[in-house]
Chains A and B, each alone.
Chain A
């Protein structure tokens, strides 16, 4: 079982809609969770991180964490064509906070 699982997509949403991206993780003791955005041919860039159960908002982005169900999600409100990219979920392991485990990513297409 992979440490981090994501639906590969593609997820297609119309411009202005809410895009919902999901991620599940296997290590129940994981403490820190991250969302990265990766444009084609570019390196991943951090969008936001979340440590505590509940929601964390940053502009049009909201990260949601549910440790009991072991999932973390990313909502993108008012989606723009420039949001079209692959979104990677990452988790820090329980026993080694030096190890980042990445999902394979969900490709998002925002259609004008």
Chain B
């Protein structure tokens, strides 16, 4: 059982380049998320998707776009990377329930923008 899988695990980009982080879950969860984690800042929500075809902004959406391709996949795109986007990115998923909701994380993607 793979859970939440995200690729790539490591990436170095030059300022201005674009890239897409891929994420897939095999738990049949409705909700999917992208977080970034920076030292001292904790996990900050970039975008989330409550269901296929819907996406909503989180706390720090600027500079990112997302796409919920189907129930399994949720991608994060950096159109023009900036050094401020150097971070660890986590994809996550959860069943959409009014109670008992829990969030499960992928292994993370380490992105460096130079």
Chain A positions within 8 Å of B, measured between CB atoms, are 4, 6, 8, 31-32, 34, 42-46, 49, 51, 88, 90, 92, 97-105
Query: Do residues A103 and B42 form an inter-chain contact, with CB atoms below 8 A?
Result: yes
B residues with a Cβ closer than 8 A to A are 31, 33, 35, 40-45, 48, 50, 58, 90, 94, 96-108
Rank and list the top 9 A-B pairs by shortest CB-CB distance, nearest first: A104-B42, A102-B43, A43-B105, A102-B42, A100-B103, A98-B50, A43-B108, A43-B107, A44-B105
Question: Which residue in chain B gives the minimum CB-CB distance to A32?
Answer: B101
Q: For A4, what are the chain B residues with a Cβ–Cβ distance below 8 Å?
A: 42
Cross-chain contact of B102 among A34, A98, A104 (Cβ < 8 A):
A34
Tell me the nearest residue of chain B to A6, going by C-beta. Answer: B42
A99 to B48, CA, bound (A): 8
Are B107 and A42 touching (Cβ within 8 A)?
yes
From residue A6, how far is it (CB to closest CB) to chain B in Å?
A: 8
In the complex, what residues of B have CB within 8 A of residue A100's CB?
33, 45, 94, 101, 103
The residue of chain B having its C-beta at the shortest distance from the C-beta of A41 within the complex is B108
Residues of B near A6 (CB, < 8 A) are 42
Closest chain A residue, CB of each to CB of B35? A102
Given A32-B101, A97-B98, A98-B96, answer yes or no on A88-B107 (Cβ-Cβ < 8 Å).
no
Please indicate the chain A residues that have their CB under 8 angstroms from the CB of B107 in the complex. 42-43
